């Protein structure tokens, strides 16, 4: 009888322990972690892969693929392969909402990374916010993208109002212009950049001789000639231009045809591309441009990224490529640290980001009117003998500034 009682008590106790283990908080999660998930982690990448902005989109896609390959070679996202789904924005604002819905609803992506031109990206950001999908913007620069209080929107690149800090510092401390003409495409990107430059001129007693907005869809030398002709009568010290690639080439060729002797300066974008130098040829010599990155920076992996890109694609990447490459590294870092891939956990991980990338340090701050915004040091490059050289700041310079005065 005593043996029977002991057996009954033994089975009762062990059964109770089994139930206790089964229903212990976190035991289910532990079991889930034990069962290895090898399914892909899918991230959406909206880019202009056709149309007038395809050079930028192609460079960025190449860089995203390089980063994806590197991430997966190092184990992917906690053992799961990272998969990218690309959708072509064509650089059109009207497609922004549909692009995001296609990625989120049809392809079931857990977050977005990318975005080139500002107007489509603004629409995409607004849609991502509505659909509660985190979106790490890598390149689009209009200020208001990170000024709307949208909790899902993070930005790796600085806003356009900060693009010219290096160029402004160079002007104040070195070149010291007394007059300027500002030429800009009348988009969100161009208008923001023009407003910033007007404020700089006002603060530094630089006379604005002309403020010329233009329609990028009509950009050609024939279209630009009457807009620029008045500058031949009263030539400013500097002509500052905010343009993408096609119009950047047309602008410089028209200015040179009109024999306007101003120092030409670009506000990054099209002026920072190797393709711009190829198309403009000798006419591009001595032009200055703001830029956000150079392969000569000492950030870990910067030179390696540049050399690998050149080896694979036989072309030199601009800062747009470095942004794309680094943005995916940041996204992967966040996804690895996230407790789950629910939007709230991805947001939390991104908000806690601090990582050094080939593009530079990345940490998302709130400052002034910006939220979840990264900030970087900006540079100045000059095209000298058909190649980009960093001329400012002095501690990062690869060449001295070549003045065009009297040329």
Torsion angle in degrees (nearest 10) through CA of 293, 295, 300, 306: 110
**How many structural domains is the chain composed of?**
2
Tell me, yes or no, whether 256 lies in a domain. Answer: yes
* 387 in the same domain as 251: yes
384 in the same domain as 260: yes
pLDDT digit string, tens, across residues 150-159: 999 999 999 9
Q: Buried (b) or exposed (e) across 87-124, using 16+ Cβ within 10 A?
A: bbbbbbbebbbebbbbbbeeeebbbbbbbbbbbbbbbb
Residue range 268-285: average pLDDT? 95
The domain that holds 107 is classified in CATH as 3.40.50.2300
Assess if residue 242 is contained within a domain. yes
Within-domain flag for 314: yes
Sorted by sequence, the CB contacts under 8 Å of residue 188 that are 6+ apart come out as 118, 119, 122, 142, 144
Say whether both 208 and 282 belong to one domain.
yes
Q: Are 385 and 257 found together in one domain? A: yes
Residue 222 clears pLDDT 70, i.e. is over it? yes
pLDDT in tens, 315-346: 999 999 999 999 999 999 999 999 999 999 99
d(CA 168, CA 275): 25
Our CA angle for 175, 181, 187, nearest 5°, is: 120
| Residues 205 and 310 occupy one common structural domain | no
Confidence of residue 36 (pLDDT cuts 50, 70, 90): confident
Structure tokens at 229: 């002709």
391 and 259 within one domain: yes
Same domain for 276 and 386, yes or no, is: yes
Q: Are 66 and 321 in contact (CB under 8 A)?
A: no
Domain shared by 305 and 253, yes or no: no
Angle at 166 between CA 295 and CA 318, to 5 degrees: 30
Band of pLDDT at residue 405, cut at 50, 70 and 90: low
Residues of the domain holding 332: 41-158+298-373
């Amino acid at each position: 009888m005593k043996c029977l009682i002991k057996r009954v008590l033994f089975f009762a106790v062990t059964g109770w322990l089994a139930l206790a283990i089964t229903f212990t908080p976190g035991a289910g999660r532990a079991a889930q972690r034990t069962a290895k998930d090898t399914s892909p982690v899918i991230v959406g990448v909206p880019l202009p892969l056709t149309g007038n902005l395809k050079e930028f989109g192609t460079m960025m896609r190449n860089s995203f693929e390089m980063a994806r390959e590197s991430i997966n070679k190092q184990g992917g996202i906690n053992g799961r392969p990272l998969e990218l789904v690309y959708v072509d924005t064509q650089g059109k604002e009207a497609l922004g909402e549909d692009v995001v819905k296609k990625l989120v609803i049809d392809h079931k992506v857990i977050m977005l990374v990318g975005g080139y031109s500002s107007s489509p990206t603004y629409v995409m950001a607004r849609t991502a916010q509505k659909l509660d999908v985190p979106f790490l913007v890598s390149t689009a620069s209009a200020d208001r993208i990170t000024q709307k209080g949208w909790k899902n929107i993070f930005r790796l690149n600085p806003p356009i109002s900060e693009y010219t800090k290096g160029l402004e510092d160079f002007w104040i401390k070195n070149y010291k212009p007394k007059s300027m003409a500002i030429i800009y495409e009348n988009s969100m990107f161009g208008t923001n950049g023009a407003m910033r430059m007007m404020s700089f001129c006002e603060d530094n007693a630089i006379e604005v001789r002309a403020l010329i907005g233009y329609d990028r869809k009509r950009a050609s030398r024939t279209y630009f000639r009457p807009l620029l002709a008045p500058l031949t009568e009263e030539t400013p010290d500097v002509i500052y231009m905010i343009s993408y690639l096609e119009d950047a080439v047309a602008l410089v060729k028209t200015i040179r045809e009109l024999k306007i002797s101003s120092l030409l300066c670009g506000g990054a974008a099209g002026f920072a591309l190797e393709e711009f130098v190829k198309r403009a040829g000798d006419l591009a010599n001595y032009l200055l441009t703001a830029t956000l990155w150079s392969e000569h920076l000492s950030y870990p992996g910067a030179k390696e990224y540049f050399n690998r890109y050149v080896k694979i694609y036989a072309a030199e990447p601009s800062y747009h490529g470095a942004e794309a490459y680094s943005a995916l590294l940041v996204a992967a870092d966040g996804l690895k640290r996230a407790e789950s891939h629910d939007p709230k956990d991805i947001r939390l991980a991104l908000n806690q980001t601090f990582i050094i990338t080939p593009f530079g340090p990345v940490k998302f701050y709130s400052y002034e009117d910006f939220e979840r915004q990264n900030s970087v040091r900006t540079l100045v490059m000059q095209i000298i003998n058909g190649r980009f050289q960093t001329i400012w700041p002095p501690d990062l310079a690869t060449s001295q500034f070549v003045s065009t005065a009297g040329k």
